[in-house]
Structure 1
Amino acid sequence: MRNSTYSESRLTPHSPAMDFSDTAHGREALDEEAIAWFVRLRDEGTTHEEIVAWKSWMKEDPRHVRAWQETLQLWQGLEPGHISRGTPLSTNRRRWQARKLLLSAAAILILLTGTTCISLLHHPGGLGCLTASHCTSAGETRQVQLEDGSLVTLGAASALRVHYDSGKRLVHLRHGEAYFDVQHDPLRPFEVQASQGSVRVVGTSFNLRLKPQGAQVSVASGKVELSTHGQQLELTTGQSAQYTGAHLSRLPESDPATIGLWRQERLLFQSTPLGEVLRDLDRYHPARILVDPAVASMPVSGIFSTRNPEAALETIINSLALRETRFGNLIIRIAPAG
């Protein structure tokens, strides 16, 4: 399916006189207009007149404000509407208020500094780098040796914070994915915190990947203890599990040799929902990839090279007969072909 591209000369959004109904087509048009504004305001050549025009567009219709906020949320990978079971509503409100402040600050920085912020905001892991011990950019992987000899292979667009003391070895995966080869030390258990759960080991090799509202753990060798919201699960070689909010569940066993296959520059998917596939591919692609919820659950199977994420994306779009819309070099939106 052929794509549509917003070239540099077409990045200015539609005329303010346009009226959008509450149809699916109208909402999609609004989304695309908000994205076009977002791309335009990130350009270092943005003029004062364009900023004034954007402000006028925002004031015209509450739907413009909602579309703009949703664009920012998609850019940061946030899901404000989700309330985890067992989490006090007031706590969620405070977290969301803090996230809104972060988004507002990011938007102000974009307007003030143009492309200066692109390295931080281009991928969700970018802001995590500000407080991380180690981080990677889109398409980059890196091997880090910790002070105890443990090795961490950090995936693309990922961020990791390390805190060691005499009694514990604590690591926080703030974004992305990492493969851990942990040195045995029974006196200092190794713990990785990720989202709302943690993985505790003494000595083992395992892969940990953050997902929306949770994480997935796969054990290549040894044994780990996975915990979240008071629930615990023990995993051994070849076993995997995931937690989403307060829900902890086992996944089908897999060949240990395929765990962490991304370290060999390959991504393996077996009937994986398109939304999850594109979230993985997004960390290797120079642009942000956004997926329409209408196609996010479509299954994808295959092995793709992380060296050429553009070819992988093209293969997926053609095989599923989807449509892509590109906003400059910053955003790719995947939607149904119709």
Structure 2
Amino acid sequence: MTSPDDQALEWLVCLNDTEADDRLREEFARWHAVPEHARAWRQAEAFWNRLNPVTAEIRRRRRLSRRAAIAGGSALVLAPLALLLTRPGRFADYRTFAGETRELLLPDGSRVELAAGSALSLDYATKERRLALHLGEAFFQVAADPEQPFIVKAGQAEFIALGTAFNIRLFEDQVSLTVTEHRVLARRGQVESVVEEGHRLVIGGSLATHAQAVDTDTETAWRQGTLVFEAAPLGEVMDVLGRNAGWRVMISDRARRIPVTAMFKLSRLSDAPETIARTLPVRLSRLPGGVLVIRAE
């Protein structure tokens, strides 16, 4: 039997279908009356609201009835403007959009490759070279300057260059660091860890004490136009694919934990969701505005 969160996403797809009728909405009202289902629906609404302003287009196309709104779906189509204005990186110094990568030459001679769907800010006004990765992914090649530390803030962590090159990826409340040359000091609060060349450190709820050895070419393959995943959770995979292809992804909790090993060419991402749906125990629906809904079978 599917979980309530999968059912909630199923209802979201059904209610946004052109064939949705009064009978279907009455069924939804009965389903929503169960407290556990109502909680799952609130989570689905929260996901939906983050997609603003895409929801406005879907509202225009689908025009859900007032009855569905009274049943508990009003927030489904009402995404406040405040959510758009507070999106991470809204006022960043540098941004990239879907399908776009950008190479930056910084004032000190350092270089940054900004992946698609990413945002970065700079603050070189102090004795430190400070940068903030607000969302997405970036590869840093740091110009040596012992008098001015090179510090990148991402999520709840800071990364201080002790050498030359490293990659940082943000995914929800998790940040991963891959060091391709020399070393990087990772710091969260009072906890610090030195990550050596050829290793990857993932910081989530707490700072990991040991980094793991990885193939750095695989970890940074996006720089050569390829996305490579080895036993990565589907939630992270879809986040990366979505940033590159311009999709907005809603994925259930069960589905997001499914491990994925796959390789995709950035130039040929259009069928990637269908490929994933054929090879994994998930169901995929496409909604207007480039919205993908994925739930476990």
When the two structures are superposed, what TM-score results if normalisation uses the length of structure 1? 0.70
CA gap of 1:155–1:27, structure 2 versus 1, over 3 A, is same
Which residue number corresponds to residue 57 of structure 2? 43
Corresponding position of 1:272: 232
1:154 alignment counterpart: 114
The letter for the 2-side match of 1:104 is P
User: What is the Cα deviation at residue 46 of structure 1?
Assistant: 3.6
C-alpha distance 166-212 of structure 1, shift in aligned 2 (>3 A): closer
1:287 paired with 2:297, answer no
**Aligned 1:227-266 pairs, distance under 5 A:** 227-266=187-226
Q: Is the 8 A contact 2:195 2:211 kept in 1?
A: no
Determine the structure 1 residue equivalent to 2:143: 183
Shift in Å at residue 25 of structure 1?
8.4
1:216 aligns with 2:142: no
Aligned-partner Cα distance in 2 for 1:131–1:156: 17
Contact 2:274–2:284 (Cα < 8 Å) also in 1: no
Question: Residue 274 of structure 2 aligns to a residue in which SS?
Answer: helix
The counterpart of 1:20, out of the listed 20, 23, 30, is: 30
**Matched-pair contact (CA < 8 Å) for 1:169–1:188:** yes
Identity %: 28
Match of 2:186 among 218, 226, 230: 226
Q: Distance in 1 between matches of 2:35 and 2:21?
A: 18
Quick check: 2:162–2:185 contact (8 Å CA) kept in 1? Answer: no
Kept after mapping to 2: 8 A contact 1:226/1:232 = yes
CA 1:302–1:251: 2 relative to 1, 3 Å: farther
Structure 2: how far apart are the matches of 1:282 and 1:231?
Answer: 32
2:269 pairs, out of 309, 312, 327, with 309
Decide whether aligned partners of structure 1 residues 40 and 12 sit closer, same or farther in structure 2, where only a CA change above 3 A counts. Answer: farther
Aligned to 1:104: 80
Q: Partners in 1 of 2:199 and 2:60 — Cα distance? A: 51
Residue aligning to 1:165: 125
Pairing 1:47-196 to 2, within 5 Å after superposition: 50=63, 57-58=68-69, 60-61=70-71, 63-64=72-73, 68=76, 104-106=80-82, 127-165=87-125, 167-196=127-156
User: Does the CA contact (< 8 Å) of 2:182 and 2:196 recur in 1?
Assistant: yes
SS, match of residue 97 in structure 2: coil
User: How far apart in 1 are the matches of 2:59 and 2:237?
Assistant: 34
User: 236-245 or 36-45: which moved more?
Assistant: 36-45
Alpha-carbon deviations, 1:24-53, whole Å to 9, x = none?
A: 889888959x96998885129949xx59x5
**CA distance in structure 1 between the partners assigned to 2:176 and 2:100 by the alignment:** 21
- The question of whether the paired residues in 1 share the 8 Å contact of 2:48 and 2:250 is answered with no
Distance change >3 Å, CA 40–CA 279, structure 1 → 2: closer
- Given candidates 270, 293, 299, the residue that maps to 2:259 is 299
Which residue identity is paired with 2:276?
A: I
Name the SS for the 1:284 alignment partner.
helix
Cα deviation code 1:112-133 (max 9, x no counterpart): xxxxxxxx79xxxx94443111
Structure 1 gaps of 5+ residues are: 73-102, 108-119
**Length, aligned pairs only:** 278
Compared with structure 1, are the counterparts of its residues 64 and 202 closer, same or farther at alpha carbon in structure 2 (3 Å cutoff)? same
TM-aligned CA deviation for residue 161 of structure 1 = 0.3
Report the Cα distance in structure 2 between the residues aligned to 1:184 and 1:310, rounded to whole angstroms.
Answer: 41
Deviations 1:192-236 (A, max 9, x none): 001111000144100001122131000000111000021100011
Alpha-carbon separation, structure 2, partners of 1:45 and 1:25: 23
Q: 1:13: how far off? A: 5.9
Distance 1:129 1:330 in 2: 21
Q: Which ranges in structure 2 are unaligned for 5 or more consecutive residues?
A: 1-9
**Root mean square deviation of aligned Cα:** 3.7
Structure 2 length-normalised TM: 0.79
Q: Is the Cα contact below 8 Å between 1:183 and 1:202 reproduced in 2?
A: no
Contact 1:240 1:252 in 2 (8 A): yes
**Contact 2:162–2:182 (8 Å) recurs in 1:** no
For residue 191 of structure 1, report the CA deviation from its aligned partner: 0.2
Could you tell me how far 1:284 is from its partner in structure 2? 1.2
Q: Quick check: 173-182 or 19-28, which moved more?
A: 19-28
